[in-house]
Amino acid sequence: MKPPSPSTRLLARAVGMSLGIGLVSLLIGCDKPQEMVSGPGVPASQGTVKVSKTENGNTKIVMHVKHLALPFKVAPNAAVYVVWLKPKDGATINLGALVVNDNLKGTFETTTPHRHFQLSVTPEAGGHVDIPTHEAVFTADVERPD
């Protein structure tokens, strides 16, 4: 069996760390934004995610972050933050770039067909990466209420 790649081990370690210290929260039947868990490299940052059902049955995701350091201050080669979605039974998907402004705030919105998934945000060298290469600065387990 082929050993896992360094980036797979890094993602697994970040997810395991969040689960291990009991900081990943679960949104069930709540209309309020869910707090995201800040990673160890950005303890002052704050993030929320809110999900809702769209008219056609998809899940709308709205993420807000504040006090999030610019990506290159978290990882030397990073230029952007990337938002990742990992469905309950599927592979990790790059949803796109989360842009942080000069006030260290950012907003990200998208739609997905998934109802239960994990979201994470990582600093990356570019927005078109296929897998996370750095530890997550935010994570959240999300289940869309119906």
Query: Would you identify the CATH topology of the domain 6-143?
Result: Immunoglobulin-like (2.60.40)
Q: For residue range 69-109, what is the model confidence (pLDDT) as tens digits?
A: 999 999 999 999 999 999 988 999 999 999 999 999 999 99
| Overall pTM surpassing 0.85 (yes/no) | no
**Which three-class secondary structure string do you get for the chain?**
CCCCCHHHHHHHHHHHHHHHCCCCCEECCCCCCEECEECCCCCCCEEEEEEEECCCCCEEEEEEEECCCCHHHHCCCCCEEEEEEEECCCCCEEEEEECCCCCCEEEEEEEECCCEEEEEEEEECCCCCCCCCCCCCEEEEEECCC
Read off the pLDDT of each residue in 45-61 and give the average, rounded to a whole number: 96
> For the chain, which residues make up each domain, given as ranges?
6-143
Give 22-51 pLDDT, tens digit per residue.
333 333 344 689 999 999 889 899 999 999
The whole-number pLDDT of residue 20 equals 42
